[in-house]
A and B are shown apart, each in its own frame.
Chain A
């Protein structure tokens, strides 16, 4: 379970998160949506203990990331929006490094890596330097490394970025499987139909504040719109703006 209460994060004078609160239950996929720069990635980095909040309360699987960041990192699997990997290592060396740092035993590590590597179709790249691989393959490596230790909580920031349709489908199914196992999953994406498809609840964050939260049905009712894209544009006050911009572009170009 994840509990976030009155979370504030300031970078210098700029307030990036302005008192957001939400809760993700066990066995739930929570969609964190919002326009670019709304504060989604910062929220996720605070959850995994790599950014310190200015104030507020955060509990991840009952652990406060501020008080015990190491413990939080032991139970969380995190996929950042851009894969950050050791480019001069091979995936094989990289998974061994992750397995060692996470104290996984040899058999468990070997079994999990081989299953995941096969599922995402990257067997042929195991001995190539990560720096030479495509963005999509690097994203798969980042995903596999986040799943190696069977985390209780998954924090996925744009995890579908760069994945081919087959891998995206596999990841989707895996997330639903993890949900059935009782894991808490926080998921951010700009692919709104995907969020509609897999998220149990959605929090819409805009300029560092939650503007709406609930199930898809609740959001539709609140916004009087039929799909998540229209709900998103309406609530972020972008619908009219998009039409105006398009009109101006048509005239200019």
Chain B
């Protein structure tokens, strides 16, 4: 069953990818690769492994238990966040393309276990980024290394379970009528969930401190060992670590089982929420093509909150800054500059959400007179809106503490646009007018991070060399303008 679902999912992904779908030979080759589970996962593991080895190398040169456990705390976030992200986004996509429709007709007791297994297959290669580090510890301290591996696997399971909880609560409900109240309610729920998860995300802040004052922070980490991922710091205290591990496993195992039951029940028969009827005649409000596409995307996001969560991921980046500002009562230019660059950089994964939102509707879009340029520009705007809003909010918050932060305005306005444009121009580089959804693999997203990182590096260069923000901003504007021209020329 799992093999059939995996093959079907990857067949659908390949079919929607215009870079290969129009070339019969390439298509056959791509589906041969993508539909083979071992080969597909093996290739992804190979892609992730260099990053894993790079991270492991930082652990190789120290034997200090405190430093090793502190670094493991940071690393343990990677499978957790990755699993939660992939579970929320991919589930919405899988269900929207109707992958589970044929199973509904069969006498299957809990088909969601196949959904979960399919997602875990997709998520598992990400372990290649963290397992080498755990193996380094294993070689030095076998029992602690073994516990580190268990904690990393647990992190993946926790992220996956929380992703499923999110899907169960937000994604599988059918609202019969559209209303502003319904959209606001969805949005409020998402923000509540993000704030909750943000408590975990704040802990990434540690990595920065660990590098600078590892001993001091590691002691603080030790005090708060119960919360994940801090609990991972207990690997050198085996009894406590095993106790915590079992506690988490049993609790979340139970949550996982109940959630799977709920998810399957809702896949079979999505609950319908009905509200009073209000419309009987049609009111036209035509917009431009691009705006119509953007507005459609955001309506869909608001009505599929699991996708919205994935889309709002850049919010995590501002949590530490906000908390730091609140704690210190200070928010200066030097605090905000790197955060705004990071928000820009983290516009990149938004590509996954804005393209997957189309699902099976791509075939319908293809019947409409939409130029590739309009489609791509709309997707760039959809990707850009939330990061730009976040970056602008930070700049305005900064103004309260320090008026000089106003000079960051051009970065807040253009960096998310630059990152989104580079990403979309890369994915839609194929010739011809046909609309399509490029297959977004994590390796490509990482490649985009690197590419956008290089461009951002060039933009930031004058600041590093001569502390010249003006020169850097001129480069920002030139790059933004050049990309806007490239987008404009896309359909010529």
Chain A positions near chain B (C-beta within 8 angstroms): 10-12, 48-50, 52, 69-71, 73-74, 78, 80, 84-90, 92-93, 95-107, 109-110, 113-114, 117, 123-124, 126-129, 131-132
Q: Are A129 and B174 closer than 8 Å at their CB atoms? A: yes
User: Would you call A98 and B368 a contact (CB within 8 A)?
Assistant: yes
- Answer whether A100 and B22 are a contact pair too, CB < 8 Å, given A70-B371, A132-B176: no
User: A110-B283, A123-B280, A132-B174 provided; 20 other pairs, C-beta below 8 A?
Assistant: A10-B24, A12-B27, A12-B28, A70-B369, A70-B371, A73-B369, A86-B361, A87-B96, A88-B300, A92-B279, A96-B292, A97-B292, A99-B284, A101-B289, A101-B292, A102-B368, A104-B286, A110-B282, A127-B178, A127-B277
Report the Cα distance A126→B279, complex, angstroms: 6
Q: Determine whether the beta carbon of A100 is less than 8 Å from that of B433.
A: no
Residue of B277, B292, B303, B368 near A88 (CB, 8 A) is B303
Interface assignment of B223: CB less than 8 Å from any CB of chain A: no
Residues of B within 8 A of A102 (CB): 368-369
Chain B 278-310: CB-based contact to A (< 8 A → 1; otherwise 0) = 111111111111011101100110011000000
Q: A80-B367, A84-B364, A100-B288 are in contact. Are A95 and B178 (CB under 8 A)?
A: no
Taking CB atoms, residues of chain B closer than 8 Å to A12 are: 24, 27-28
Asked if residues A50 and B433 are in contact (CB atoms below 8 Å), the reply is: no
Query: Is the Cβ of A73 less than 8 Å from the Cβ of B286?
Result: no
B254 within 8 A of A: no
Interchain nearest-CB distance for B463 vs A (Å): 42
Q: Top 6 closest A-B pairs, CB basis?
A: A100-B292, A127-B279, A110-B284, A84-B364, A73-B369, A109-B284
- Please determine whether B178 and A90 come into contact, CB atoms closer than 8 angstroms: yes
Q: Which of B283, B285, B300 makes the CB contact (< 8 A) with A86?
A: B300
5 contacts between A and B (CB under 8 A): A69-B433, A71-B369, A89-B296, A99-B284, A131-B174
Q: Which residues of A contact B300 (CB under 8 A)?
A: 86, 88-89
Please tell me if B434 contacts chain A, counting CB pairs below 8 Å: yes
- In the docked arrangement, what's the CA distance between A114 and B364, Å? 22
B175 at interface (Cβ–Cβ under 8 A)?
Answer: yes
* B211 interface residue per 8 A CB criterion: no
User: Which residue on B lies nearest to A85, using beta carbons?
Assistant: B364
Interfacial chain B residues near A80, Cβ < 8 Å? 363-364, 367
Fill in one digit per residue for B7-30: 1 if any A CB lies within 8 Å of its CB, else 0: 000000000000000101001100
Contacts of B22 in A (CB 8 A): 52
Complex interface: chain B residues within 8 A of A126 (CB): 279-282
Query: What is the bound-complex CA distance between A100 and B368, given in angstroms?
Result: 11
Among B96, B299, B368, B371, point to the contact of A89 (Cβ < 8 A). Answer: B299
Q: Give B353 Cβ to nearest chain A Cβ, in Å.
A: 14
Give the residues from 162 to 178 in chain B that come closer than 8 angstroms, CB to CB, to chain A.
174-178
CB closest residue in chain A, given B364: A84
B308 to chain A, nearest CB (A): 12
Question: CA separation between A84 and B97, bound complex, in Å?
Answer: 11
Residue of A nearest to B370 (CB): A101
- Docked Cα-Cα span, A248 to B340, in Å, equals 73
Chain B contacts for A98, CB-based, 8 A: 368
Name the one of A87, A90, A114 contacting B281, with C-beta atoms under 8 angstroms.
Answer: A114
What's the nearest-Cβ distance from chain A to residue B101, in Å? 12
Q: Is B286 a contact of A100 with CB atoms below 8 Å?
A: yes
